[in-house]
Structure 1
Amino acid sequence: MSALSELQHHLTRYWALPYHEDTELQSKLVEVQAWQRARLQRTHSDLFEQPKNKPMADYFLTQLYGGGEFKLLAEQLERILPKAKKLERLAKETVLETGSMAIQAAILAIELDMHLAQWLVSKDLPVDEKNMLAAYQAVDESDERRVQINNLKDVCYRTDKYLNSFVLKKVFAMAKSTAYSHNYQPMYDFIDAGFKAMKPLDSVTGFIEPFCKREMKIIDQVHAAGSNGKTATFGVS
């Protein structure tokens, strides 16, 4: 399956998520996502606040963890994908595959948070640390959360690989004006945002490995026996 076909599959799955047609669920999802971003900022404050890491942290929080910006991207891509076959000739297939993987990672994050939101709606509970812990444990998607974290890692390492390829960088840069003129700006900009976020990093390893290690530890803590009601499980030492 080509990268664009994969992307169409991901977008079809995204638009099938029930929150698009359920205003109460959508509102709760927005609250859950805001809580998640605040939690990520708190958990990784030492990592995110390093000047060289700030663009990457912003990319994670605005592009890879859903929100209004992702919905706009999805709407734009949905319009242009049926006639976007030329895009595969404007950029390397491997680059498009990475962009598709990043979008898949963003959709999975939205889907998993939507499941938390559904549980909170069913219990008529507000979004706070205690209720989020209860939702995590009730929904019990620890394996899926681990897949989410590993997907983010894969996207980062693949993007870093292409960023460090002189040939791919040149090909991608040369494709910009053509991509824009053919109205393929959303996909180009999404991939380019990942490149720009990583550019200041000395090594993507120094960002993504501690990020993933902490997130995996939190998943283990949240789903460990005896952690019921202990909101400190969202912290790391």
Structure 2
Amino acid sequence: MYRERLVATEVHSDSARRLQYLLINYHDFRQHKASHPLLEDTFRVADWQAERLKRTHQDLYQHPGYHTGLEFLLTDLYAPSTMTRRDDNIDRVFPKMVKWLPDNLLDTFAGLVELNLITQQLDLDLTETLQRHGVPSQELTNTQYCAAFRASPGLEQRHRQIALVAEVGQQLDHYVRNRTLGWLLSMTRGPAEMADLSDLHSFLHRGYTAFRKMEDVDALIERLVTREERVLDNILNRVPEPFNLPDDL
């Protein structure tokens, strides 16, 4: 919808160029995915994986100090069926972002965009693999999922996906510790609504609130990354119960 604006915007730093490149790629992918015949199946696969993540990290998900942050991760950062307006609005305000935001914030936004893009690309690859193997997304089992996972293209991106969770999570935690950000979000709610950016503002405010409530983000990220790397290795090495992890992880 706003591709021309993304392309036409002049950028003057490596951070801005990276964000521009990723936003254009993400825009094009979203257009491709929106018309894909397996679109609804990608949503079911995403839901299946979100539920798997909740089970794998159930102790963290139920922990009062981490629940809100993990819920934000699964419903806001990883919500391909519900965030079209948010993503369109990021494209729309991109010229102002590169004009007013410092490079470190542009890098964080770029990491978020790359994480969302990779995740949705991998979801689509997995869905197409399931379809080729004749596996209906409505009745997906652990065994079928793992077989399709191993047969899907882009396995090298799986490690990048996990690394981005750590990178972006640590950067977001750094920003929310600055109380000025909370004040700015409160002060800009009205202007955001007037500019038809309320969904984007709400996303930022939920993220700020979620990370402010978390007790030790570094410890959470370390456990998430360690566990997901183990799950990835288990799937690739054909471990019989790849999602069952030792209690000390």
Give the TM-score taking structure 2 as reference length: 0.80
Match of residue 234 from structure 1: 243
Match in the other structure for 2:96:
86
Distance 2:17 2:197 in 1: 15
Residues 170/193 of structure 1: CA separation in 2 closer, same or farther (3 Å cut) = same
Unmatched segments (≥5 aa) in structure 1: none
1:5 positional shift: 5.7
Contact 1:99–1:190 (8 Å) recurs in 2: no
1:21 is aligned, of 35, 44, 62, to: 35
Q: Say if 2:163 is the partner of 1:150.
A: yes
- Specify the alignment match of 2:76 in structure 1: 63
How far apart are residue 40 of structure 1 and its match? 0.4
Task: Quote the offset at 1:186 in angstroms.
Answer: 3.8
1:12 aligned residue: 24
- Alignment partner of 1:115 is 2:121: no
Q: Percent identity?
A: 22
- Alpha-carbon displacement from aligned partner over 1:52-92 (angstroms, at most 9, x marks no partner): 212111111112223312334223434x23xx533456655
Range with bigger deviation, 59-68 or 106-115 = 59-68
**Structure 1 60/70 Cα, relative in aligned 2: closer, same or farther at 3 Å?**
same
Tell me, in whole angstroms, the C-alpha distance in 1 between the residues paired with 2:156 and 2:133.
24
Cα distance change of structure 1 residues 179 and 85 upon mapping to structure 2, 3 Å threshold = farther
Q: Check whether the contact 2:19–2:106 (CA below 8 A) recurs between aligned residues.
A: no
The answer as to 2:50 corresponding to 1:37 is yes
Report what 1:207 is aligned to: 220
The more displaced of 8-17 and 134-143 is 8-17
How far apart, CA to CA, are the structure 2 residues paired with 1:140 and 1:93? 33
Structure 1 contact 221–233 (Cα < 8 Å) conserved: yes
CA RMSD of aligned residues (A): 2.6
CA distance in 2, matches of 1:95, 1:177: 22
For the 8 Å contact 1:91–1:172, the answer to whether it is kept is no
Cα distance, 1:150 vs structure 2: 0.9
The ranges of structure 1 where at least 4 consecutive aligned residues each deviate by more than 6 angstroms after the TM superposition are none
Equivalents in 2 of 1:123, 1:71: separation in Å? 30
92-101 or 121-130, which deviates more? 92-101
User: 2-side partners of 1:123 and 1:161: how far apart?
Assistant: 44
Moved more, 188-197 or 149-158: 188-197
Residue segments in structure 2 that go unaligned for 5+ positions in a row: 1-10
Is contact 2:182-2:208 (8 Å) kept? Answer: no
| Cα distance, 1:4 vs structure 2 | 6.3
Which whole-Å CA distance do the structure 1 matches of 2:188 and 2:107 have between them?
16
CA distance in 2, matches of 1:27, 1:179: 31
**Number of equivalent positions:** 229
